[in-house]
Amino acid sequence: MRGSKAFSYPYILWLLLFTVVPLFIVIYFAFTNDAGEFTFDNFSYMSLYAVVFWRSFRLAIISTVICLILGYPLAYIMSRLKKKHQTIAMILIMLPMWMNFLLRTYAWLTILENNGLLNNFLSWLHLPEIAIINTPAAVGLGMVYNYLPFMILPIYTSLTKTDQSLIEAAKDMGCSERQVFTKVIFPLSIPGVLSGIIMVFVPAVSTFVISKILGGGANMLVGDLIEMQFLGGAYNANMGAAISLVMMVIIMIFIWLTGKIDKNGDGEGSVLL
C-alpha cells in the first residue's frame, strides 16, 4: 500500500490548522495584554485564583477516586457474567451516555434542591432535611454520576481481554482466588485503570457545566473561570488564555505521569477503551 500515504495529507493539514495553530494562538494570548504587548502579567495575577485551582483539582481527584472505587468492582462483576448478560450490562452502561449530559445533570438538580425530591422524601420519613445543593459535594456527585461510565468501560475492556488460561495457570500453581486477583487479574487490568483515571480526571477538572448547575455560583471551578473570561462578565481573553494554558500544562503532566506508570503501554490508541 505504498504511495497511499497521501491520503492522510488532508487530515494532517486539518490537524495543523484546527488543533496546532489554535493552541499557538492560546499561547500567544497568554503572553500578551489586550494591546498585544508581551507580558507575564497574566500569570502573576493568577495567584488570585489559587483557591479556584485548588478546589478544582481537589474535587476532580476525589471524584476520580470515588469513580475508581465504585467502577472497578462493577467492571469486575460484569466481566464474570455470561456473555449474553455482559452485552446487556454494557448497553445499560452506555445508554445514559446517549442522553444529553446536561439533562442528566439537571435531573440531579431536581432531586437535590432544597425542596426537591430527596428532601420531600426525607421529610415524608420525618427525617431532617439536608442542604446539599450548591455545595462542593453536589458538584462532586454530579462528576461521579456523569463520568462513572468512562471509568467502567476501559477497566471492563482490559478485564475481558485477560487471557483465561493465565487465570487457570495461576490456580494451577496454587494461587487462591484472592491471590489470583491480586497477582494476575489486577496487575493485568492496570492499563484499563489508568486510561479510566485519565478519562474521568480530565473532563472533571475542566468542567464548568456541572458546577454551574449543581454548584450554584458559590463553587467556581477553573472551567467556570475560563468561561467567564471569554463569554461571561469578566471579559479578558488574555487572562483566559493564560489560565487555559496553565491547566493544559498540568493535565499534560498528569497524562505523562500516568503513562510512566504503564510501562507496557504502546501509546497507540490505548487512551480510548
Partner 1 sequence: MKKYIGRIYMVLIFLFMYAPIFLLMIFSFNSTKSRSVWGGFSLRWYKELFQDSEILHAIQVTLLVAVCAAVISTILGTAAALGIFAMKKRPRRLMLTLNNVPSMNPDIIMGVSLMLLFIFFAQTLHMDFFKLGFGTLLLAHITFDTPYVLLSVMPKLRQMDKRQYEAALDLGAGTVQTFFRIILPQISTGIVTGMIIAFTLSIDDVVVSYFTSGPTSETLGVLIFGMTKRRISPEINALCTLMFVFVLLLLIIINLRELRAERERERSEER
What x-and-dash track marks residues 152-191 binding partner 1 by CB under 8 A?
A: ----------------------------------------
- C-alpha torsion angle, residues 43, 45, 51, 54 (rounded to 10): 0
Chain positions 237 to 266 lying near partner 1, rule: CB under 8 A, are: 237, 240-241, 244, 247-248, 251, 255
Question: For residues 173 and 233, which CB has a smaller minimum distance to partner 1 in the complex?
Answer: 233
With CB under 8 A as the contact rule, the residue among 117, 122, 173, 218 that binds partner 1 is 117
CA dihedral sign of residues 115, 227, 246, 266: positive
Chain positions 122 to 151 lying near partner 1, rule: CB under 8 A, are: 145, 148-149
Beta carbons within 10 angstroms of residue 4's beta carbon? 7
What x-and-dash track marks residues 199-228 binding partner 1 by CB under 8 A?
A: ---xx-xxxxx--xx---------x--xx-
Count residues binding partner 1 (CB under 8 A): 87
Query: Which strand (E) or helix (H) includes residue 181?
Result: none
With CB under 8 A as the contact rule, the residue among 34, 54, 58, 110 that binds partner 1 is 110
Instruction: Quote the least distance from Cβ 96 to partner 1, whole Å.
Output: 5
Q: What is the 3-state secondary structure (H, E, C) of 91-135?
A: HHHHHHHHCCHHHHHHHHHHHHCCCCHHHHHHHHCCCCCCCCCCC
Q: Check: CB of residue 112 under 8 Å from CB of residue 133.
A: yes
Helix, strand, coil percentages, rounded to 5, for the chain? 75, 0, 25
Chain positions 28 to 57 lying near partner 1, rule: CB under 8 A, are: 29
Residue 80 interacts with partner 1 (CB under 8 A): yes or no:
yes
Question: For residues 196 and 240, which CB has a smaller minimum distance to partner 1 in the complex?
Answer: 240
With CB under 8 A as the contact rule, the residue among 46, 61, 65, 70 that binds partner 1 is 70
Question: For residues 38 and 98, which CB has a smaller minimum distance to partner 1 in the complex?
Answer: 98
Give the number of C-alpha atoms closer than 13 A to the C-alpha of residue 259, restricted to the C-beta side.
12
Q: Check: CB of residue 134 under 8 Å from CB of residue 79.
A: no
Give Cβ neighbours of residue 95 (< 8 Å, ≥ 6 apart).
Answer: none
Instruction: Quote the least distance from Cβ 213 to partner 1, whole Å.
Output: 5
Chain positions 185 to 204 lying near partner 1, rule: CB under 8 A, are: 198, 202-203
Residue 22 interacts with partner 1 (CB under 8 A): yes or no:
yes
Pick the piece of the chain touching partner 1 (CB under 8 A) from 88-96, 122-130, 153-161, 167-175.
Answer: 88-96
Residue with cell 477516586: 65
Rounded Cα gap, residues 216 and 22, in angstroms: 31
Give Cβ neighbours of residue 29 (< 8 Å, ≥ 6 apart).
Answer: 237, 238, 240, 241, 242
Instruction: Quote the least distance from Cβ 33 to partner 1, whole Å.
Output: 15
Residue 60 interacts with partner 1 (CB under 8 A): yes or no:
no
With CB under 8 A as the contact rule, the residue among 61, 62, 113, 135 that binds partner 1 is 113
